[in-house]
């Protein structure tokens, strides 16, 4: 069975995603759309598509499209996802799903009322090593879960993409990369009972660095950190009363290795995971196709309620560290 994909916005991540569609059986790159026809054509030179379009409106007007991958900056996910849904098009929307919980709720309410498929492209949720970690925890290898420590840091190289620090484009460490440690902790430990957070602002006022603590009434905790000022190990520890899983490096990517420390001094095991060619975006794309074939309007694995919970936590973190975007006022 063929699935006709459209790509909305021809930036950096769209290139990786388009490249990974080659690893998805039945996936057809049917249309690519940019706000500039020249950029769409340049994209299509590398990733050929049946339709090369110079506007997002032309994309949503196409009759024979099964799903649109929204790859604009997070500031525009709300507008672009609503555009797609209002034209009855299924959507896989990049992370961060929106700027805030209110926007996310509006996007999800529209998808649910129109019964059109929508999913956040939280690709890590679909990666084999992450599934393996969940299995190991479910098998009881960590004993009683106690916490997660995770960090994500990179120093952007020149020329720095404007979206990384521009408040109008949802810039800042939390929504761009901090979302991964937050996702890891919340998906393993649950929604935190209490959050403490602080930030170091960049010159533009958005968070260049953010430090976050999650506290749970059941005795768990998480320490999470993200920075756009330095290249960090970007690793993670998930620990319990019987052992620890170390994810290195980078913990959110398919290249991550899993080390299991059973709690005996100097003892550790490297846990094998099947590897595939590609960047790793093929796993979420396959899942979207399966959902569409089965007539689902939401993912049973990364549901829209998961996305809402994640957005709510990101809002709580921003409140704690005093970071507001313009759209928070509406």
With CB under 6 A as the contact rule, the residue among 74, 125, 287, 306 that binds ligand NAP is: 74
Query: Which uninterrupted H or E stretch holds 284?
Result: helix 282-293
Selection from 23, 5, 15 nearest residue 275 by Cα: 23
**Nearest residue to ligand NAP, by Cβ distance, number only:** 11
Query: Which uninterrupted H or E stretch holds 180?
Result: helix 179-189
* CB of 26 closer than 8 Å to CB of 4: no
Of the pair 46, 144, the CB lying nearest ligand NAP is at 46
Of the pair 169, 304, the CB lying nearest ligand NAP is at 169
Of the pair 69, 225, the CB lying nearest ligand NAP is at 69
Q: Could you give the CA distance from residue 136 to residue 56 in angstroms, rounded to a whole number?
A: 43
Of the pair 72, 186, the CB lying nearest ligand NAP is at 72
Q: Could you give the CA distance from residue 191 to residue 308 in angstroms, rounded to a whole number?
A: 11
Q: Widest CA span of the chain, in angstroms?
A: 61
Is residue 129 involved in binding ligand NAP (CB under 6 A)? no
With CB under 6 A as the contact rule, the residue among 42, 161, 229, 292 that binds ligand NAP is: 161
Of the pair 176, 208, the CB lying nearest ligand NAP is at 176
Selection from 220, 130, 137, 207 nearest residue 166 by Cα: 207
Sheet containing 269-271: which strands, arranged edge to edge?
194-201, 207-215, 221-227, 145-153, 236-240, 244-248, 257-261, 269-271
CB of 31 to ligand NAP, least distance (A): 13
Kindly name the residue from 2, 12, 89, 95 that is annotated as catalytic. 95
With CB under 6 A as the contact rule, the residue among 73, 147, 181, 254 that binds ligand NAP is: 73
With CB under 6 A as the contact rule, the residue among 30, 76, 220, 316 that binds ligand NAP is: 76
Q: Please list every residue from 2 through 41 that binds ligand NAP, using CB under 6 A.
A: 9-14, 34-36, 39
Is residue 167 involved in binding ligand NAP (CB under 6 A)? no
Is residue 163 involved in binding ligand NAP (CB under 6 A)? yes
Is residue 176 involved in binding ligand NAP (CB under 6 A)? yes
Q: Provide the pairing of β-strand 221-227 with 145-153.
A: parallel
State residue 209 phi and psi, 5-degree precision: -135, 145
Of the pair 14, 238, the CB lying nearest ligand NAP is at 14
Residues contacting residue 329 through CB under 8 Å, at least 6 positions apart: none
Active site residue 324: no
Q: Could you give the CA distance from residue 240 to residue 147 in angstroms, rounded to a whole number?
A: 7
Is residue 54 involved in binding ligand NAP (CB under 6 A)? no
> Between 83 and 102, how does the x/- string for binding to ligand NAP read (CB under 6 A)?
-----------xxx------
Q: Which residues are catalytic?
A: 95
Which residues are at the interface with ligand NAP (CB under 6 A)? 9-14, 34-36, 39, 71-74, 76, 94-96, 121, 123, 161, 163, 169, 176
């Amino acid at each position: 069975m063929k699935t006709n994909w459209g790509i909305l916005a021809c930036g950096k991540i769209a290139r990786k995603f388009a490249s990974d569609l080659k690893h998805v059986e039945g996936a057809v790159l049917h249309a690519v759309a940019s706000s500039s026809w020249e950029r769409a054509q340049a994209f299509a030179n590398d990733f050929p598509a049946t339709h090369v379009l110079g506007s997002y409106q032309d994309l949503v007007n196409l009759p024979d499209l099964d799903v649109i991958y929204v790859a604009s900056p997070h500031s525009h996910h709300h507008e672009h996802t609503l555009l797609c849904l209002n034209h009855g098009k299924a959507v896989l929307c990049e992370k961060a799903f929106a700027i805030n919980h209110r926007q996310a709720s509006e996007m999800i309410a529209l998808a649910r009322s129109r019964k059109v498929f929508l999913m956040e492209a939280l690709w890590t949720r679909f990666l084999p090593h992450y599934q393996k970690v969940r299995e190991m925890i479910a098998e009881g290898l960590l004993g009683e879960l106690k916490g997660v420590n995770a960090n994500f840091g990179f120093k952007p190289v020149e020329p720095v993409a404007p979206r990384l620090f521009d408040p109008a484009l949802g810039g800042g460490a939390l929504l761009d990369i901090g979302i991964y440690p937050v996702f890891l902790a919340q998906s393993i430990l649950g929604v935190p009972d209490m959050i403490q957070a602080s930030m170091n602002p960049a010159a533009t006022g958005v968070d260049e660095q953010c430090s976050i603590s999650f506290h749970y009434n059941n005795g768990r905790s998480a320490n999470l950190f993200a920075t756009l000022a330095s290249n960090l190990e970007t690793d993670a520890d998930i620990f319990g009363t019987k052992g620890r899983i170390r994810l290195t490096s980078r913990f959110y990517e398919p290249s991550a290795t899993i080390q299991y420390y059973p709690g005996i001094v100097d003892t550790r095991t490297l846990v094998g995971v099947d590897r595939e060619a590609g960047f790793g975006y093929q796993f979420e794309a396959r899942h979207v196709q399966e959902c569409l074939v089965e007539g689902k309007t939401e993912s049973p694995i990364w549901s829209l309620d998961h996305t809402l919970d994640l957005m709510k936590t990101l809002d709580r973190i921003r409140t704690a560290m005093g970071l507001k975007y313009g759209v928070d006022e509406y």
